[in-house]
Amino acid sequence: MASRAEAADTAGRRDWRDVARDAADLALLGILLTLAAAPLFTAAAAAGTASAAVHDWTRTGSWPSARTTLRRFGRSVLPGVPVSLLALAVAGLLAADLAALATGRVPGGAPALAVTALVTVGLTGYAGLVVVEVGGCRRWRAAARRAARACLDAPTRWAALSGVTALAGLLAVLVTPVAVPILAGYTVAALHAVAGRRPVLAHPELP
């Protein structure tokens, strides 16, 4: 993956080739993320490692080396297993609830379906911010606490992050399945872009 700093021309401007290079880098990131998360219990480790790579890229203009990325992934596999299982369980329960409401197998109708869908979108936005925080070299528990505080302090930012995840989910349904891994890389970058507008030291007392 190329460095954005090296890609800038003498005037400090970026042209279409730099944009194309960034797009290719993010597509590759999404493919690697998907492959690493394929066993499912490594999903959290894969997401955290991809987030850390985007964190480095957005702040230094360079991607981390393959050795650094592999080391990060290896160290985060075991701590990420409970997170992966929890995320899969919550996702499964929400999906089953939405399906039951949509097909009328449980009472509630359209209002209950709308509320459940809204809760689901909000949770995915929160989860997206947790992934961003983990990319900043935080542990999952600390990242979850910091993300929760940030969502409460800046609900509009939370809504924006939820919009990113909702749009990504919609696109994942609409695009061809082979393009879904590519979409994953763009989604991580979009989450970082939105979350990056939040003051970094909003709560310096949190670890």
Residue 11 in 3-state DSSP? coil
pLDDT at 205 over 60: no
* Model pLDDT, residue 17: 83
**Of 43-47, 134-138, 179-183, which range is least confident?**
134-138
pTM: 0.84
Task: Evaluate if residue 69 carries a pLDDT over 70.
Answer: yes
The stretches of the chain forming alpha helices (DSSP H) are 4-7, 16-37, 43-60, 66-103, 109-135, 140-153, 155-174, 180-195
> Is residue 4 very low, low, confident or very high in pLDDT (cuts 50, 70, 90)?
low
Residue 40 — left, alpha, or beta (φ > 0 → left; ψ -120 to 50 → alpha)?
A: left
Residue 188 predicted with pLDDT over 80: yes
Confidence of residue 202 (pLDDT cuts 50, 70, 90): very low
Q: In this structure, are residues 150 and 172 in contact, taking their beta carbons and an 8 Å threshold?
A: no
